[in-house]
Chain A
Amino acid sequence: MLLTIDNFSLSFIQDDSGPEPTETQVLHKVSLDVSSGRTTALVGESGSGKSVTALSILRLLEDTSNTVSSGRILFKGRDVFSLSPKQIRSLRGNHVSMIFQEPMTSLNPVYTIGNQLIEPLLLHRALTKKEAEIEAIHLLERTGIPDPRSRLTAYPHQLSGGQRQRVMIAMALACRPALLIADEPTTALDVTIQAQILNLMQDLQEEFNMGILLITHDLAMVKRIADQVHIMQNGRIVEQGPTDTLFDNPQESYTIHLLESVPSGEPEPLAAQRPLLDISHLSCQFKIKTGGGGFWGGGKKIIQAVDNVNLIIPEGSSCGIVGESGSGKTTLGMAILKLVKSQGSILFGDRDLQPLSTRTMRPLRKEIQVVFQDPFSSLSPRMTVGQIVEEGMKVHKLGGNKEQRMILVQAALAEVGLEPEHIFRYPHEFSGGQRQRIAIARAIVLKPRLLILDEPTSALDMTIQKQIIDLLKGLQEKYGMTYIFISHDLRVIRAMVHQVAVMHEGRIVESGPASELFALPRHPYTKQLFQAAFGT
């Protein structure tokens, strides 16, 4: 056995929260194994203790936090807690490597790729500088980055997210580790890139006979590449077993719950309606400074974020806008809200929004509302929930006086499944899912006709995603609101929308009724996207 975690428990000690240090136990008797050439997945929602388990294997928590642990972690039969600091350093990087979630922050921005890649080679494999450079090029080549030689002198910001993650993998593999710990390796990446990275990891596993410990919340990914699955909840392993058995025949209620949370079902069919929103020839550009250029440091590049988009959305329906990051989905939403400048016409009902000024637009604002992706930054941390939800009514002078408004606020909170007494609390007292409910309450309290949902579930755990989707569906049924649902998650889109528009580089490459489009994608880009997402 390559790695054995045996009855491992871990607690954090906090000594600044009160007079007495408090102990918070985050791992409860965790046991798992990883063998060479196999992939073990550790699945759970955020806060379940997955990452803490991974960090404990390399004893990376000791430097930054005060912890107490019991149980054993054996790597090739040796307890990592018995190793000297020198031995543990040689274990890190040399025998066990880690890939982290964020390719943006896990590379040092001030060093070139080559610099960062060559360092572990010099350190652990005692190569000369020349040999190390050749080896680095070879490694980059292996991860499928085009033109690896010139990439050595590139800085991290010059690479895309997917390329950075490839560099991270190249770094992790530099010393031919026996065990690779991948902590949400693809979460921050687009679906098509995700598929490529997973294939790469599988190929490399075969080549080097590595053991992989895959930490993720993505069940589709687990099903695809893992041999063994461990389901984790609140610091405990609640169920484990071979992937096929576990997926086909889950035993524990939590596992069943988790498997059922994969978005499924279809939206309610819709009677023909007149269009609520009619967008034609909508374009939107950004100027980007390229630096250099003229005397004044000019040199500007124009980026077409939204390029000649036409879209008609019937009243009471849901329109999904899918695409990868940078495809212009969000900008399109912002243009409809008139929060960015654009050209072309936006007919809302029978009024064109485009010529309206800030003042003339204001009465219409309550008809078009928005819910953002990140529930942590979409609520002002210094306002109470009551103030947040009330604000729109104050602006539009709705709901009479303060007491009457508060009654409406409480009704809206009840509508989204929160308690009326929550109005006095601050956003940070709520979980991610609850915050998203607050953001939805803020939007629906104005009874808008059009609700733009910009990745409303992407930052949430699976089970919470499911709840939010059910909530949105329920609200649509009740109030007949029209949704524009922007997402990169095709499974969520399929569960939610009547009509889909696929965006790529600012253009809508394909659009149509959801049922037709999902059954028979025509455009090559759509096909590629669907294949990456559904693995068909």
Chain B
Amino acid sequence: MGFGQRRWHRFKRNRRGYWSLLIFGFFFVLSLCAELVSNDVPLLVSHEGRLYFPLLNSYPETTFGGEFETEADYLDPYLLEKLTAPGSWLLFPVNRHSFNSINLDLTVPVPSPPTRTNLLGTDDRGRDVLARLLYGFRLSILFGLALTLVGTVVGVVAGGIQGFLGGRTDLFFQRFIEIWGAMPELYLLIIFASIFKPSILLLLVLLSLFSWMGLSDYVRAEFLKGRNMEYVKAARALGVSGVTIMVRHLLPNGMTPVITFLPFRMSASILALTSLDFLGLGVPPSTPSLGELLAQGKANIDAWWLSLSTFIVLVGTLVLLIFIGEALRETFDPRKK
């Protein structure tokens, strides 16, 4: 049995972590297909013997016998009537709302409580909370993944160089990290948020500038330890070059803290995005985000469906990630046989 296979076997033995991974994976895949699950356009329309894919193309209302040249509004009762007439049919997603479609048929003031059309109610602009949660979850996870990836890669490279070269390089790098780490991250974000147009990419870049530091310390320590191991000396005696020693010998042996920390870093990244959104420093308005929903929940404290549902999604995600992280840590614990 190979190394990876054995590890996977050991991971699976931790039932809690394994199930957390399955559940998390299910929701993540579901959210990746958010457009197919929750949307205000039908997946498929059959009208007068022809098939239309409103998800991919936009059709003017006139296509389906309407009067306007504008894009068809499939929730309009007039058009709906035409499309459900004999000879035509249409297939809607499970939840007939997109993250930014506003329910105009509400009879109560927004935010409106859960009804049969809006299963988790609407937010303060009449947008469906369930749809926003689904899209917001996807954005959070993707952002978390991207930030974790960038932070990990930069952290491993920086830590690896410090640990492998040691000496003066290490010393300067360490001092640089101390200075860099002392920069007020939040102020920088506020300043940049007022200079540039807020966007996901900007956030990713700004947070990446700081997220690599924690990890680089661990990798540095692993490399420093590994550098003096006899297998590295043996490789040097064989004439193996420095870069190859780092990649082939030190990196695989220094990966344990990296992998162990991955889920925790990811939950930290998600939380960072949520907090910034909550403070209004994060993603541009109208982007579905968990933090923005929480802020709305705070502003409309009696609209319990806002804060409660967001809270459950957020806590659920973080708990699942932490369970996965625990299982990973156990898998890579060298003291366990």
A: residues with CB less than 8 A from B are 14, 16-17, 334, 337, 339, 361-363, 365-366, 368-370, 372-374, 377-383, 391-392, 395-396, 426, 439, 442, 446
Q: Which residues of B contact A365 (CB under 8 A)?
A: 237-239
The contact sample of 13 A-B pairs, CB cut-off 8 A, is: A16-B337, A363-B239, A368-B237, A370-B237, A374-B230, A378-B229, A378-B230, A378-B231, A381-B253, A383-B249, A383-B252, A391-B248, A439-B234
Contact mask for chain B residues 3-32; partner A; CB cutoff 8 A; 1 contact, 0 none: 100000000010000000000000000000
* Contact between chains at A392 and B238 (CB < 8 Å): yes
Q: Judging by beta carbons under 8 Å apart, are B239 and A442 in contact?
A: no
| Known contacts A16-B336, A426-B3; A380 and B253 CB within 8 A of each other | yes
Q: Which of B233, B249, B252, B337 has the most CB of A within 10 A?
A: B233
Which residues in B have their C-beta under 8 angstroms from that of A442?
234, 238
Whether A337 touches B237, Cβ cut-off 8 Å, given contacts A377-B229, A381-B253, is yes
Shortest Cβ distance from residue A320 to the other chain B in the assembled complex, whole angstroms:
20
List, in ascending order, chain A residues with CB within 8 A of B236's CB: 337, 339
CB distance from B248 to the nearest CB of A (A): 7
Which of B248-299 touch A at CB < 8 Å?
248-249, 252-253
Question: Does B3 contact A370, Cβ atoms closer than 8 Å?
Answer: no
Residues of A close to B244: CB separation below 8 A: 395
Q: A362-B239, A368-B237 are in contact. List 13 more A-B contacts (CB 8 A).
A: A337-B236, A339-B233, A365-B239, A369-B238, A370-B233, A372-B230, A374-B230, A378-B234, A380-B231, A380-B248, A383-B248, A391-B248, A395-B241
Distance (whole angstroms) from the CB of A47 to the closest CB of chain B: 15
Interface residues of B toward A: which range?
20 to 34
In the bound complex, do residue B239 and residue A382 qualify as a contact, i.e. CB atoms below 8 Å apart?
Answer: no
Nearest opposing residue in chain A for B253, CB measure:
A382
Contact A380 B249, beta carbon cutoff 8 Å: yes
B235 within 8 Å of A (CB atoms): yes
Q: Which residue of B lies closest to A374 (CB)?
A: B230
The answer on a CB contact under 8 Å between A392 and B233 is no
A392 adjacent to B239 (CB under 8 Å): yes
Name the CB-closest residue of A to B234: A378
CB closest chain-B residue, reference A379:
B231
Q: Inside 8 A of B231's CB, which chain A residues have their CB? A: 377-380
**Is B234's CB under 8 angstroms from A366's CB?**
no
Residues of B within 8 A of A337 (CB): 236-237
Q: How far is the CB of B178 from chain A (nearest CB, A)?
A: 16
Question: CB distance A391 to B237 under 8 Å?
Answer: no
A362-B239, A381-B253 are known contacts. Are A17 and B230 too (CB-CB below 8 A)? no
Chain A proximity of B188: nearest CB distance (Å): 31
Q: Decide yes or no: A17 and B337 within 8 Å by CB, A365-B239, A368-B237 being known contacts.
A: yes
**A391: contacting residue among B3, B229, B238, B253, CB under 8 A:** B238
Q: How far is the CA of A337 from the CA of B237 in the complex (A)?
A: 7
Q: Which residues of B contact A426 (CB under 8 A)?
A: 3
Give chain B residues whose Cβ lies under 8 Å from the Cβ of A368: 237
- A17 partner residues in chain B, CB cutoff 8 A: 337
Q: How far is the CA of A398 from the CA of B237 in the complex (A)?
A: 16
Contact A370 B234, CB 8 Å, known A17-B337, A380-B252:
yes
Q: What's the Cα separation between A426 and B4 when bound, in Å? A: 12
Write the nearest CB–CB distance from A203 to chain B, whole angstroms: 39
**A-side contacts of B337, CB under 8 Å:** 14, 16-17
Residues of A within 8 A of B252 (CB): 380, 382-383
A269 to B211, alpha carbons, bound, how many Å? 65
Residue B119 CB within 8 A of the other chain: no
A380 to B253: give the CA distance in the assembly, Å. Answer: 8
- Which of B3, B233, B239, B249 touches A396 (beta carbons < 8 Å)? B239
CB contact under 8 A between A391 and B235, given known A380-B252, A382-B253, A383-B248: yes
Q: A380-B253, A381-B253, A382-B252 are in contact. Are A339 and B240 (CB under 8 A)?
A: no
Chain A residues contacting B230 (CB-CB under 8 Å) are 372-374, 377-378
Asked whether, in the complex, the Cβ of A366 is within 8 Å of the Cβ of B239, the reply is yes
Q: Which A residues lie within 8 Å of B235 (CB)? A: 380, 391
- Name the 3 nearest CB pairs between A and B, nearest first: A365-B239, A382-B252, A378-B230
Given contacts A378-B230, A379-B231, contact A369 B253 (CB under 8 A): no
Within the complex, which residue of A16, A372, A395 is in contact with B239, where a contact is CB–CB below 8 Å?
Answer: A395
Which positions 309-337 of chain B face chain A at CB distance < 8 Å? 336-337
| Least Cβ–Cβ distance between A365 and chain B, in angstroms | 3
B142 to chain A, nearest CB (A): 31
Q: With CB as the reference atom, state the residue of chain A lying closest to B249.
A: A380
Q: How far is the CA of A392 from the CA of B234 in the complex (A)?
A: 10
Which residue of the partner chain, among A14, A362, A363, A372, contacts B234 with CB atoms under 8 Å? A372
Instruction: Tell me if A395 and B248 are in contact (CB < 8 A).
Output: no
Q: How far is the CA of A396 from the CA of B241 in the complex (A)?
A: 11
Chain B residues contacting A363 (CB-CB under 8 Å) are 239
Give the shortest distance, in Å, between B7 (CB) and chain A (any CB): 11
Q: Which residues of B contact A369 (CB under 8 A)?
A: 237-238
What is the bound-complex CA distance between A47 and B8, given in angstroms?
29
